[in-house]
Each structure stands twice: as C-alpha cells, then as structure tokens.
A and B are shown apart, each in its own frame.
Chain A
Amino acid sequence: MALPKRTNPSSVTSAAKRKAEVFSSSASLKEMEALAKRMRRHIVTIIGKAGSGHPGGSLSAVEIVSTLYFRVLRHKPQDPQWTDRDRFILSKGHAAPLLYTVLAECGYFPVAELATLRQLDSRLQGHTDRNLTPGVEMSAGALGQGLSFAIGVALAGRLNAQSYRVYVLLGDGECNEGQIWEAAMAAAHFKVDNLTAIVDRNRLQLDGWCCDVMDSEPFAQKWWAFGWQVIEVDGHDFTQLGRAFTRAKKIKGKPTVIIAHTIKGKGVSFMENNPDFHGKAPTAEEVEIALKELK
C-alpha cells in the first residue's frame, strides 16, 4: 500500500512571500483607540451573526492584542510563515474572534471574511485552527495548552539563534489548568527569556467570579514563586501595555508574565462583568445596542 507523500507545509515559498514587508504602524494613541473600538464592533457583530461564541473574553483583551500586532510584533501579514516573525500564540482559544479581527485589520485576510465566523467551510473556525487561518500559530480551544506550546516555539528560536520573541495570551480562568503550572515551572527552569506571557485578568470565568469558582489568589505571587518576572498593568491602557512589553524584552534569564487587569465584556455596558456573556452570543437587538455604545 502506498502511503500519501507528506511534506512540511511551511517549506513552501513563493515570489509573493519573498516580497512581503514587515508590518509597520505609527498609530497614535487616538488611532489605537479608534482601532480598539472598530475591533470591538467587529467582535460583537460577527459573534451576533454566527449566533454563538464568546464575546466577553474577546472584548477584554482588545487593547492587549492590538498593542501587540500594531506596536510590538515584527510580522509580515503577506507572509504569515516568515521564519523570523515574532509569534503571538492565543492560548485562550475561545477568544478566536478577537484574533481573527486583529489579523484582518493587519491585512492577513479581508475584513469581509470575518462575517464567515463559525460557518461550515469557513477559514474562521469556532476555535483556532493553525492549518486553516493565515497568521494563526496554534490550534487552541482546549484550555491550558498554549504556554507549553509557546515554550517549544521559544526554545526552537534559541536553538536556531533566531531573535524572534514569543507572546502567549492566557485567560485567568484558564490558569485553573494544572498544565499551565507545569509549563510555568518549565519556562523558568529552561530560562526562556524570549517568552512573554500575558494573562487577561478579567476575573470572570464561565461559572462566575474566578475567586468563587476556583480562587487563584495570590495570583501574582504564584507566578513570582514559579520564577517569573511579574509586571501588572491596566490591560485597557495602551501606554501601560506598551511600557510593559518594552520592559519584558529587557528582562534576561527568566520569562516575564504581564498580568493585565481587564474588564470582561469591556466596552458594552450589559456585557461588562457579566458572566452570562462568557459564551453566549448577543441577539440582533443586543448587537444593535452594543454598536450604538461603540460608536
């Protein structure tokens, strides 16, 4: 029996990719704020259209992810497999609409494609699929796996003497998973200082407040005790986020975690701090109200 011939998909190159340029943006604070609003409108609209999805944890991390893609990462939207790119790994895979939105805004694929979220044969699956969507680094959605994956990517960069950095976004509810702490221990042990984790600390998970479901306090001290540099910021403040990423780059010999304090459902009054909108789509009426608030 003949086996199908298998080749490494990332080895494929094309003339178009060779010409691709590093993404650059000189967006002002005002423009970043406008971008964040636009992204929130996309998120609410596409989840509403899909009729299912997780708006709360997408809205909470808009400033984190837009800061990364527009101000921190070296990446090429026309060549998603560029070997020297900085990597962003979304571990909390249910925030896929957020990632798709920022990728579309950067030009990885047309903004119009966002409307296909969760449809059969769409490249935009309910949770991320690294083999389907340009710019998606990891198939995620089963929580707790992204930090380990990110360590592997960071170690490969070190072995290859490549200068790229690896960023991984975790949810605070996700940090209930034991694998996160296995990985936290390993990242410090292997001294992966080209790795920055960001925790979207919105304090809510599906069943309610994190402290009621599974209290993880003292949260920052846990990371510190595992050997990480800890930076705490307001996760909706572009200036604080930018400074934190700059500081994290300079920390040597250990990984850094940025604990970004956020509001779940940020920007939509009836979704803010409301666990009902962890994994529930807004109705058409609710989308309309939300879009008015996000004008």
Chain B
Amino acid sequence: MTEVVSLREAYGKTLVEMGRENPDIVMLDADLCRSTMTQFFAAEFPERSFDCGIAEQNMIGIAAGLAASGKIPFASTFAVFVPGRCYDQIRMSIAQPKLNVKLVTTHGGITVGEDGTSHQSAEDLALITSFPGFTVIVPADAIETVQAVRAAAASYGPFYIRLPRPKLPLVYDRSYRFELGRAVTLQLGGQATIIAIGVMVTAALEAAANLKREGVDCRVLNMPTLKPIDEAAIIAATGTGAIVTVEEHLEHGGLGSAVARVVARHRPVPIEFVAIKDTYAKSGKPGQLLERYGLTTKDIEQAVHTVLKKKGG
C-alpha cells in the first residue's frame, strides 16, 4: 500500500530547513502554529517567528511590511481565513505592490471534515487567483509540497500554497522534480484527459485505472500550479477531444474555470467539471463529505463517460 504522509508536516519541516539556510526567512501565524505546523520553525527560530494571535488581517499587514524590508515572510493559517478574512489586506498590502509574501494555508477544501462549514474552504482558490500577479499552487502530496514551498521561497513575488488537513498517499517518488507553472503527465492516454489538482489527484489516477479496465484510455494530468496555469498542457489535452477537471473546490472560480478559459479560447472541446456544486458542505468525515459532494473516483468515472458521449455526438 502507498505511504500516507502529512503535507502540513512536510511544510513545517521544510520551513525549518529553509530557515537554517536563509536568515531572511521569517514566519507568521495566527494562533494556529500547532495546526499549520509552523510550530517547528517557532521552536528553532523564536526571534524570527511572529504569532500574531487571532488577528489575520494584521498578520497580512505585518508580513507585507517585513517583505517590503527584504525579508521572506511565510504566513500561515487555515485556508478559510486567508484569503477569505483578509481579501482587502492581501489586495492592497501584498498583491498590488507585488510584495514577496508567501501565504501557505492548511485545512483547505472540505476534507477538514467534522469542523463543518465555518472551517471548510471551498472558495479560496477563486478569491486568491483573482489577484493579478499571485502564483497559486495546490500540491498533491508531501513530496510536491516540499518542492513547491522551496520554489516559492526561491522566486520573488506573492505566492499562495494550499494544503489539506488529512495525510495523503504519495503520488510521487523521490525522483520527482516540481516545476513552477508546469503540469505533470501522470498517465498517457488518448480518449480523454483528466486534469486534477491537490487531494483529488489520487482519485483521478484510480478512476483512470478503472476506466482502463473498461477499455477507456485516459490521460491524467496533475496541475499543481493553478496560476499561472500551464496553457500548453491544456491545449495539448484538447487533442484528446474531451476533458474532465477534478478539484476540491467550488465549481466556480477554481481549476475547472481556469481550464475552460484556455480551452474555449484555443480549441473548444467538451469539458465536465468534478467539483463542489453551488453549496456549502456540512460536518462529516472527510470520506463521507467527498462522497456527499460528488468528489469520488466514481464521480470522476461518470464524468468521463458523460464527456465521451458529448465528444462522440
């Protein structure tokens, strides 16, 4: 069985390693150090750690001021609070001036689970991708998380990285090399393309394997960089004549919207969207919620069948 690893912990440990290598890396949190795993950094570098208390707007402003003075701030909290609670602060203090702030949020999506609507984040990608100049990454496993966090530190400008609460199976092995702005082809195939992001990548691979047994041959792409999106990979995917996007986010404003824009502009082909429909999710176990809100392997397979019918017709 595939190893299951925490992405949050991978982030926390990577931040400490980067802190050892670069004294300009500083950390901010909003009373969630133990949940976001910035606690490791706080323990080793107390003088470079700023727990701002339960005051996310102020945290964003302090991070911007540190960045304007040459620091590389990593600011973390839950994805529902950043960007949601600080939209205007991110807009004017970080995005407009293009400051070098790295927002790494955890507990993204609905797999937060039992805490319910107030703690689930199904809108964050729509909000954060609306800011001009932001780079947005949603890693699929712990290995990709480590490299995405390092890439963010190494590249000047505002970044948003969204991590989930649950541990996830490894999609990659140690030989994987993450590239900013590049999709990754996980499986070759010619009848349709499944483009997935974040926690849904594993489900997309499972769906593709099941479909293969039925004789349906799907290409599977992981799209870790949501913005700027890999247009070339999407245009190439239109060559399969049908696309299914898969994300743990509202259908509005996430991966599906971004892919549809590229497809519509370059070479229209039918698309199906596996995403949360226009609703709020409830409390429940992560697996129950994924099932209730249409984010299972079965939902992906069904979407492929639907899109193939449209392609054929």
Interchain CB contact under 8 A, B71 and A156? yes
What are the residues of chain B within 8 A of A183 when measuring CB–CB?
58, 61-62
**B-contact 0/1 string along A139-167, CB 8 Å cutoff:** 11110111111111111110110000000
**What's the nearest-Cβ distance from chain B to residue A33, in Å?**
34
A240 to B65, CA, bound (A): 29
Q: Which residue of A lies closest to B58 (CB)?
A: A182
Among A8, A83, A138, A156, the one with the most B-chain Cβ atoms within 10 Å of its Cβ is A156
Q: How far is the CA of A249 from the CA of B8 in the complex (A)?
A: 42
Determine if B93 and A1 form an interchain contact, defined as CB atoms under 8 angstroms apart. Answer: no
* Residues of A close to B100: CB separation below 8 A: 8
Tell me, in angstroms, the Cα distance from A127 to B210 when the chains sit together: 57
CB pair B48–A139 under 8 Å, yes or no, is: no
- A185 interface residue per 8 A CB criterion: yes
Whether A155 and B65, one on each chain, are in contact in the complex, defined by CB atoms closer than 8 angstroms, is yes
Of A145, A148, A152, A183, most buried by chain B (CB within 10 Å of CB) is A152
A145 to B26 alpha-carbon distance, docked (Å): 20
Which of B114-122, B224-232, B263-271, B295-303 forms part of the interface with chain A?
A: B224-232
Q: Which residues of A contact B107 (CB under 8 A)?
A: none
Q: Given the complex of chains A and B, what is the CA–CA distance between A11 and B47 in angstroms?
A: 25
**Inter-chain contact B61/A156, CB cutoff 8 Å:** no
Q: With an 8 A cutoff between CB atoms, is B70 at the interface?
A: yes
Which of A106-114, A129-137, A205-213 contacts its partner?
A129-137
Interface readout for A1-39 with B: 1 if CB under 8 Å, 0 if not? 111001110100000000000000000000000000000
Is A190 at the interface (CB under 8 A from chain B)? yes
CA distance A229 to B46 in the complex (A): 26
Q: Decide: B71 and A149 in contact? CB cutoff 8 A.
A: no
| A62 CA / B96 CA spacing, docked (Å) | 27
> In the bound complex, do residue B88 and residue A142 qualify as a contact, i.e. CB atoms below 8 Å apart?
yes
Contact partner of A182 among B57, B69, B231, CB < 8 A? B57
List of A residues within 8 angstroms of B53 by Cβ: 182, 185-186, 189
B155 sits at the interface (CB 8 A): yes
Give A155 to B73 CA distance when docked, in angstroms: 12
Whether, in the assembled complex, A216 has its beta carbon less than 8 Å from a beta carbon of chain B, the answer is no
Please measure, in the bound complex, the distance between the C-alpha atom of A23 and the C-alpha atom of B1, giving whole angstroms: 68
User: How far is A178 from B56 in the complex, measured between Cα atoms in Å?
Assistant: 11
Interface string of B171-199 (1 = CB under 8 A from A): 00000000011100000000000000000
A179 at interface by CB-CB < 8 Å: yes
Distance of B208 from chain A, by nearest CB (Å): 24
Query: How many of B's residues come within 8 Å of A, CB to CB?
Result: 42
Q: Which of A83, A141, A145, A189 interacts with B61 by CB under 8 Å? A: A145
User: Is B67 within 8 A of A139, CB to CB?
Assistant: no
Which range contains the number of A residues in contact with the other chain?
Answer: 35 or more
- A residues 51-84 near B (Cβ < 8 Å) are 83
Closest to B88 in A: A142
Given that A151-B65, A179-B57, A186-B55 are known contacts, is A10 also in contact with B89, CB under 8 Å in the complex?
no
- Find out whether the CB atom of B50 lies under 8 angstroms from the CB atom of A155: yes
**Is B155 a contact of A6 with CB atoms below 8 Å?**
yes
User: By the criterion CB–CB under 8 Å, are A179 and B47 in contact?
Assistant: no
Query: Quick one: which of A139, A144, A153, A186 contacts B96, CB cutoff 8 A?
Result: A139
Is the Cβ of B98 less than 8 Å from the Cβ of A147?
A: no
CA distance A291 to B106 in the complex (A): 57
* Among candidates A130, A141, A190, residue contacting B68 with C-beta atoms closer than 8 Å: A130
B96 contact set on A, CB distance < 8 A: 129, 139
Given A7-B156, A142-B88, CB of A1 within 8 Å of CB of B230: yes
Is B167 an interface residue, CB under 8 A from the partner?
no
Chain B residues with CB below 8 A from A129, complex form: 96-97
Q: What residues of B have a CB within 8 angstroms of the CB of A146 in the complex?
A: 61
Q: What are the 10 A-B residue pairs with the smallest beta carbon separation, nearest first?
A: A152-B65, A148-B61, A156-B69, A182-B58, A182-B55, A152-B62, A149-B65, A152-B66, A153-B65, A142-B92
A–B complex contacts, Cβ < 8 Å, 13 sampled = A3-B181, A6-B155, A6-B157, A10-B70, A137-B68, A139-B92, A142-B88, A148-B62, A155-B66, A156-B69, A178-B57, A179-B61, A183-B62
Besides the contacts A142-B92, A183-B58, what 16 more A-B pairs have beta carbons closer than 8 Å?
A1-B231, A2-B181, A8-B156, A130-B68, A138-B68, A144-B57, A145-B93, A149-B68, A152-B64, A152-B73, A155-B50, A155-B62, A156-B71, A178-B57, A182-B57, A182-B58
The residues of B with any CB-CB pair to A shorter than 8 Å are: 26, 47-48, 50, 52-53, 55, 57-71, 73, 88-89, 91-93, 96-98, 100, 155-157, 180-182, 228, 230-232
